[in-house]
Structure 1
Amino acid sequence: MRPHAGGAAITMGVALTALYTALIAGADAITKLFGQAYAAPQLFAVSGFIVAALALAANARGPRRRGMRTACPGAMAVRVVATVAGSVAFYHAFRLLPFAEVFLFIALIPLMTALVSGPVLGEEVRSQAWAALMLGLLGVWCLFPGGLSDMGAGHLVALLAVALGTVSMVASRYIGRRDDNLLAQVFYPNLGLAVAMLAALPFVWRPMGLADLGWAAGYATLLFGARWVLVAALRALPAYVVTPLMNLQFVWMVALGALAFGEVPGVMVFAGAAIMVAAGAWLILDQTLETRRATRVVPAE
């Protein structure tokens, strides 16, 4: 009997998502560091071109040199616009808010993605998945240090960033179902980001030393790896399963926030993170059981 293909895909999707959280957490830490001294176009113009160049280099060295053709130009355009606007919004959110508060809004992505992925992607959102998403929402409430009454401009920017990020991820999964050219999904959003930021760069440019250029290059490398891995994860698992697992990113950011920026979350922050991780584990268990039921071999009569 052959190995269970559905189970292998789930395992791979979980592993890819966990790797994504580590890579993107490192990139976000550099974003917060840059935000203290530079405007968004300065980081994104440099990093966007670097990531696009890395995508071209990876394509040239790969066994299937398909170029950057895409079978879904319309959906790709939506992904590019959402990625550019969302990146700028998240950049400002990191400048205005501590990591814990930014990740409160990032944790809203599973619920928003579930609402959108149903009608757009035709994915069934099972009752167990909704229950797990509600559990994750409870975790979000624990992660909000000041309560909703303290919502300010930074929180509104973060909410806008999450909405745009959700559009980008749903578009990515839509493309991934119809086109297996993963590098195109890395290349075009970052090229669009670089070109858009280049237009604003003359108005905000500040001289950069070698150390800051090195941080920008490091950010681009981490972002390239993270986005490539995320696209692959969204092909292996439904969007409403991948997005709750992305809350593992919060664990990395707690450590980086404490080490790099002296941010020490309270007990409720850790309680909320534990609840969100449990919600993600619940979704994976439900998806695994459903896949096994759907692919169970019926003995021949």
Structure 2
Amino acid sequence: MSTQSNTAAGIGLMVASTFVLAMQDGVSRHLASEYNVLMIIMIRYWFFAAFVVTIAARAAGGIKRAAHTTQPVLQIGRGVLLAAEVCVGVLAFTYLGLVETLAIFICYPLIVAALSGPVLGEQVGWRRWAAIGVGFIGVMVILRPGFGVFELAAILPLGSAVMFAVYALATRFAARSDSTETSFFWTGTVGAIFMTAVGLWAWEPMTARDWFWMGCLCVSGAIGHWLLIKCYEMAEASAVQPFAYFHLVFGSLVGVIVFHEVIAWNVALGAVIVVAAGLFTFWRERQQS
């Protein structure tokens, strides 16, 4: 395939992955409103770990090759951080809903851009710093500090965004020595071990109907990650990453249609500002590379 065809296919896979992951968010919101969040994420990680181990076992070199790393502390830290971030994010769904949570969470690429200089030594020019500043103005529009009582639950998606940004930076750092397959393997297995340690005590009976939704959650997570893997195999990250914002679009539609959430004017305006700033940072990164 030509480079242009690969990029088009990669964009299609990215949009498909955001759709699947938005559906997963909707199922997570439902289950987390009925059961302990730690139990839900623990079961989800069991399936995720089985998925990554299966992929590793079928690849050349098997599990031994996938698990080999010269930086186990970093890989363990990444896995634990992502699992904790997922818990915080799903908890935010139960307090704020999908629309507001995703609108705040989408600022994470701006946090990555802001921290890439001091953490990774990458050069961040004044244009990207200006975009980062504009993006955080968008976040403030969503949060509306000073108007009424500030909702403490808004700290959850903001904290989730910071955690995911740090995880993304740690993943970039790990990529200097380890392959994508190795990082993926450690993410799933370490996350499953961590969630089992903190989630078993929260076990509670689940209805047959919700076990069905739990199965949908696990399968959609595996499909979403598989689509992302294929997406990054087909095209450069800088070309497809802007289309990750479709996650906000699809997630908001699920929130409005399924859970009857309302998109407030400040949330819509702030989200547009954040997305515009994020798209500009992606464009500048691609121009420089």
CA-to-aligned-CA distance 1:243-293 (integer Å, 9 cap, x gap): x764432111110101210112134433333333333332343334334xx
Greater CA drift, 101-110 or 15-24:
15-24
Which of 255, 258, 262 is matched with 2:256 structurally? 258
Counting only pairs closer than 5 Å after superposition, residues 1-301 of structure 1 correspond to structure 2 as 17-63=14-60, 65=62, 66-144=65-143, 150-182=149-181, 184-227=182-225, 233=232, 236-237=236-237, 242=241, 246-291=244-289
Change (3 A) 1:75 1:227: farther
- 1-side partners of 2:149 and 2:245: how far apart? 23
1:51: how far off?
Answer: 0.7
Greater CA drift, 200-209 or 257-266:
200-209
Greater CA drift, 43-52 or 187-196:
187-196
The code of the aligned residue for 2:117 comes to G
Q: Is the 8 A contact 2:98 2:252 kept in 1?
A: yes
1:82: how far off?
Answer: 0.9
Query: How many residue pairs get matched?
Result: 283
The code of the aligned residue for 2:172 comes to R
- 2-side partners of 1:289 and 1:67: how far apart? 33
The code of the aligned residue for 1:203 comes to W
Greater CA drift, 278-287 or 223-232:
223-232
Specify the alignment match of 1:296 in structure 2.
none
The code of the aligned residue for 1:58 comes to I
5+ residue gaps in structure 1?
Answer: 292-301
Change (3 A) 1:49 1:202: closer
5+ residue gaps in structure 2?
Answer: none
TM-score for the superposition, normalised by structure 2: 0.81
The code of the aligned residue for 1:289 comes to Q
The code of the aligned residue for 2:32 comes to G
CA-to-aligned-CA distance 1:120-146 (integer Å, 9 cap, x gap): 222222322223333333433343478
Q: Is the 8 A contact 2:85 2:164 kept in 1?
A: yes
The code of the aligned residue for 1:22 comes to F
**Match of 2:204, SS?**
coil
Q: Is the 8 A contact 1:97 1:154 kept in 2?
A: yes
Q: Is the 8 A contact 2:37 2:87 kept in 1?
A: yes
Change (3 A) 1:237 1:201: closer
TM-score for the superposition, normalised by structure 1: 0.78
The code of the aligned residue for 1:106 comes to F
- 2-side partners of 1:21 and 1:58: how far apart? 21
- 1-side partners of 2:249 and 2:155: how far apart? 23
1:104: how far off?
Answer: 3.9
The code of the aligned residue for 2:168 comes to M
